[in-house]
Structure 1
């Protein structure tokens, strides 16, 4: 389970990561055949990075195309567990949205973990 401070919950926060809102933050997207990761990194001079309370926040998007309610919730639980293990590797004050694609429902946890690692690495290290 992700701690409350590590969760994106408001719709406006999701929209800010997915579409941007002109706040000068760097947004990157990277995908695999199982999922797409959207990362919103803070500006290098941002005060949030310097503050002690800055921590990454993560949200999940799993549409009906992935499957019925049981399948979608199972997919979110598996992704949440995988992301919780990787929180330490995310930049402070980064906002991340993980969007599951339909093949994610049939993937093993190892395949999801490898896809998540690959997408996160590409999104975080990509230059704007």
Structure 2
């Protein structure tokens, strides 16, 4: 079987390291450092129940910290808007998006919001 160009260049895992995401419609996109670099100074080990907003350095909050290095971000990729729920990791003092997460299109985000009452009821039912 012939080698793929990526195999020859040895760049097979670079997209994952840089935070490549696969969206719910199959597109693969790379997150720019402008979206991820601002959270570098934050310690997300807090046990606070309130979500914290992270700044991108321009004074604009763009990420909401859920705790345990998990963030919600709204971003644009190829002209489409996505709600990105993702776990981050720290590398070289900078917070970077990991592979664990999901990017929801605005359509799927709306479906999730519409079903929030049912989801909350299930959580209550299972939690006792």
**TM-score, normalization by structure 2:** 0.26
Q: Which has the higher contact order (CA 8 A, sep 6+)?
A: 1
**TM-score, normalization by structure 1:** 0.26
Q: Give the number of the structure whose alpha-carbon radius of gyration is greater.
A: 2
Higher strand share: 2
